[in-house]
């Protein structure tokens, strides 16, 4: 009978140890789940902050777009004027006729690139 009593005690201790081990594993799994949930929540918050920053920059870009278009128009006019003045070998500059200026514009390609940029913007590519 004493042998059975010792065996029962050992079995009881093993059961308690197994229960403790199972509880520890469950607790570890719960803590891991909480850590992962916190990481996801932190990431969501970070994404919200980045989204807000992106929205602010989009708004600022939209506000600056008319000024950028005006500056491009001024730049185009300056380049047209610059293209009409063509330096000669002796250092002086002569005003070109319309056809000569057009040839010069085609040669340097400045106005073509500006037109491409305006077309891309109109199509929403830039």
Residue 93 near residue 86, CB atoms below 8 Å? yes
Q: For the residues 41-49, what does the mean pLDDT come to?
A: 85
Residue 23 has pLDDT above 80, yes or no: yes
pTM of the model: 0.35
**52 vs 17, 49, 57, 59, 60, CA distance in Å?**
52, 5, 9, 11, 12
Separation between Cα atoms, residue 66 and residue 59, nearest integer Å: 13
Residue 57 near residue 69, CB atoms below 8 Å? no
Q: Quick one: CA dihedral 75, 76, 81, 85, positive or negative? A: positive
Task: Please name the helix (run of DSSP H) or strand (run of DSSP E) that holds residue 87, with its range, or none.
Answer: strand 85-87
3-state secondary structure of 93: strand
pLDDT in tens, 66-103: 888 888 888 888 877 766 655 544 444 455 555 665 66
**48 vs 36, 43, 44, CA distance in Å?**
18, 9, 6
pLDDT band, very low/low/confident/very high, at 3 (cuts 50, 70, 90): low
């Amino acid at each position: 009978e004493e042998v059975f009593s010792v065996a029962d005690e050992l079995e009881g201790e093993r059961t308690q140890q197994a229960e403790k081990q199972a509880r520890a594993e469950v607790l570890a799994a719960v803590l891991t789940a909480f850590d992962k949930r916190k990481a996801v929540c932190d990431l969501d918050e970070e994404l919200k902050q980045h989204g807000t920053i992106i929205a602010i920059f989009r708004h600022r870009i939209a506000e600056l777009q008319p000024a950028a278009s005006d500056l491009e128009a001024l730049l185009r006019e300056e380049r047209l004027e610059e293209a009409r003045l063509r330096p000669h070998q002796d250092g002086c500059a002569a005003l070109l006729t319309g056809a000569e200026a057009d040839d010069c514009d085609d040669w340097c390609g400045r106005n073509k690139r500006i037109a491409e940029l305006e077309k891309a913007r109109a199509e929403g590519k830039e």
